[in-house]
Amino acid sequence: MKKNSCKTKEKSGVLGLRLQNMSEIILTDRQTDRQTDRRDCSIDLIRVIACVAVVGLHTFPKDLSLVTASLYYLCGFAVPFFFMSSGYFLLNRGELNYKYAGHKCVRIIKIVFFWNCILYVIKLGKALALDKIFSIKLLAFVKEFLKSFVQKGAMWQFWYLGALLIIYLLLPFLSKLNQHSKRVVLLICGIISIAIQIASFQCGKPMQKYVTQTFRIWTWLFYFLLGAEMKTLKVWISNHISVVFHLLLCMEITILIIVFENYVGCKRILEMSGTLHAEYFYDSLYEMLWIGLIFSFLLRINFSETVSKYITGLASLTMGIYIVHPMIRKITVIIIGNTSIFRSIAYWLVTTLCAAIITWIIKRLPFGKYLVRI
């Protein structure tokens, strides 16, 4: 009996140790997941800031005053940030196959398709009310759907998803490259971008205006790959540059951006009627440095779990805000206006808030995920 009881105790002891080891492994995994969440939260913050800034690009009147023009150009990092955050996530996940890329492409096509369907139904309702139902043709829907990808038509904001679609098609190839090869492609895209910017100043007009935003692949691929490179640069910067010095660098180059882009854009050095669009500066070296510095600085910010949850929640609204804000601003500009600095800021903030609320509501609909999430 004693022998049996000893064996039982030994077995229970071994079992207890195994359970303890398993619990430690589970705890370690959970801790790792939490650390990953905290690390990724900085990217969520970047997405939120980029989203708010992109609304600013579409609401601040750049020809009104020096202040609104400065605010407009300060929002210029928005689109590059979107591409960089995608590159940061996707190109640091190992090799990605064509099945994954195809899945992402299908989701983009779905979201553009559904929003164009909504627009088509609205047009049908208007035509029906005016007894002009036969004026709405299916071919017009197909044209509108395709135009959405190339910055034309009522859903022009989907040009970004059109550009992202092209990058997703390149994703399996890019993910197979080693770090050195990725850096070579990054360098080539950077050289092309800078060369185009130099040519713009030499010719007296921005070369980018002759290319639809969707097909500026050299620009978007540069920022996509730069975002992936930030994973490595983050460690180097943390070890060699203090947070205070990093912040000072960001502030200094931001001031230079305001001065230079206002001078070039508002003083019309280039032969353009009106102030230059912010996207004409994406290929310039100083813009690349500015965007890279701010992005890398934001990656250094750490948050508590409570704050991280709020940021992650806001980040889940960013795509929806991007999609609906062009429609919202048509209403808010009538109500608030943008004829003064104060009104312009209010117009920007109210448009962003309304777009966020509408996105939050859409997300809770049964089909909401097809409308506001890639």
Confidence (pLDDT) at 202: 80
The Cα 296–Cα 285 span in angstroms is 16
- Which pTM was predicted? 0.84
Rounded to a whole number, what is the distance in angstroms from the first to the last CA of the chain?
66
**pLDDT, tens only, 98-139:** 888 999 999 999 999 999 888 888 777 776 666 665 556 777
Confidence (pLDDT) at 275: 59
Rounded to an integer, what is the distance from CA 287 to the centroid of its chain?
17
- Single out the residue of 223, 99, 229, 206 nearest to residue 160, CA to CA: 223
Q: Who wins on pLDDT, 191 or 286?
A: 191
Arithmetic mean of pLDDT, 264-288: 73
